[in-house]
């Protein structure tokens, strides 16, 4: 199973991805977690990424693509994975399609098992959720900027994957258990 979890910041992508990855015994690959670990470790990549993250902007494509490519080549990713936080733009999705083709022995992304799961949650709920997390980079101004960036740069992915008949839409404005159950049902039918 190859899943991309999409949705605005605070939609519950990370939580749901962790739950399902544990349940299905496949890795949860979170670019946000990888980036935060790089920032804490003060790696070169982390220092570059921190300036973008602090401003509420997306980390540039090339930095993310390098991280994802390295992670996808690790042995535990051969049986399947849940990717959280990548791709975030249509150019990243096109790159990812090429990467899947390389890793998957010549199959393109639209010919493989890939499903893009979109968790949809209203903005007012997202702001409340994000403020309650208490992360240093989660203040209301930064959150609203991140939501604006999401709408401008990431929402086009919904159409990208819908056009390829790979999109699974889920109402993320429910309890964690209800969203998990909805995801399990939708993905067992579609996979």
User: Binding-site residues for AMP, please?
Assistant: 31, 36, 57-59, 85-88, 92, 135, 146
Number of H helices, E strands in the chain: 9, 5
Sheet holding 28-30, edge to edge: 28-30, 81-84, 2-6, 114-120, 167-171
Catalytic residue selected from 71, 115, 129, 146: 146
C-alpha to C-alpha distance for 23 and 21, rounded to whole angstroms = 5
Catalytic residue selected from 71, 88, 115, 129: 88
Helix (H, G, I), strand (E, B) or coil at 8: coil
Instruction: Count the residues in the chain.
Output: 191
Catalytic residue selected from 13, 71, 115, 129: 13
> For residue 139, what are its two tokens?
């203040």
- Active-site annotation holds for 146: yes
Calculate the alpha carbon distances from 56 to 67, 88, 143 in Å.
19, 14, 7
Binding site for ATP, by residue number, is: 10-15, 133, 174
Q: How many CB atoms lie within 10 A of CB 39?
A: 18
- Active-site annotation holds for 145: no
Binding site, by residue number, is: 10-15, 31, 36, 57-59, 85-88, 92, 133, 135, 146, 174
- Active-site annotation holds for 88: yes
Residues forming the active site: 13, 88, 133, 135, 146
């Amino acid at each position: 199973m190859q899943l991309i979890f999409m949705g605005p910041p605070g939609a519950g992508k990370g939580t749901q991805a962790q739950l399902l990855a544990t349940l299905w015994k496949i890795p949860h690959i979170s670019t946000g977690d990888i980036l935060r670990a790089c920032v804490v470790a003060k790696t070169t990549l982390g220092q570059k990424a921190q300036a973008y993250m602090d401003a509420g902007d997306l980390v540039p494509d090339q930095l993310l693509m390098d991280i994802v490519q390295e992670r996808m080549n690790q042995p535990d990713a051969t049986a399947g994975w849940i990717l959280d936080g990548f791709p975030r733009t249509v150019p990243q999705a096109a790159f990812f399609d090429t990467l899947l083709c390389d890793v998957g022995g010549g199959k393109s992304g639209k010919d493989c098992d890939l499903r893009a799961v979109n968790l949809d949650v209203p903005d007012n709920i997202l702001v409340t959720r994000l403020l309650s997390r208490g992360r240093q980079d989660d203040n209301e101004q930064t959150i609203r900027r991140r939501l604006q960036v999401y709408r401008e740069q990431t929402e086009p992915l919904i159409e990208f994957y819908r056009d390829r008949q790979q999109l699974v839409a889920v109402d993320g404005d429910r309890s964690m258990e209800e969203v998990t159950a909805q995801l399990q049902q939708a993905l067992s039918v579609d996979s």
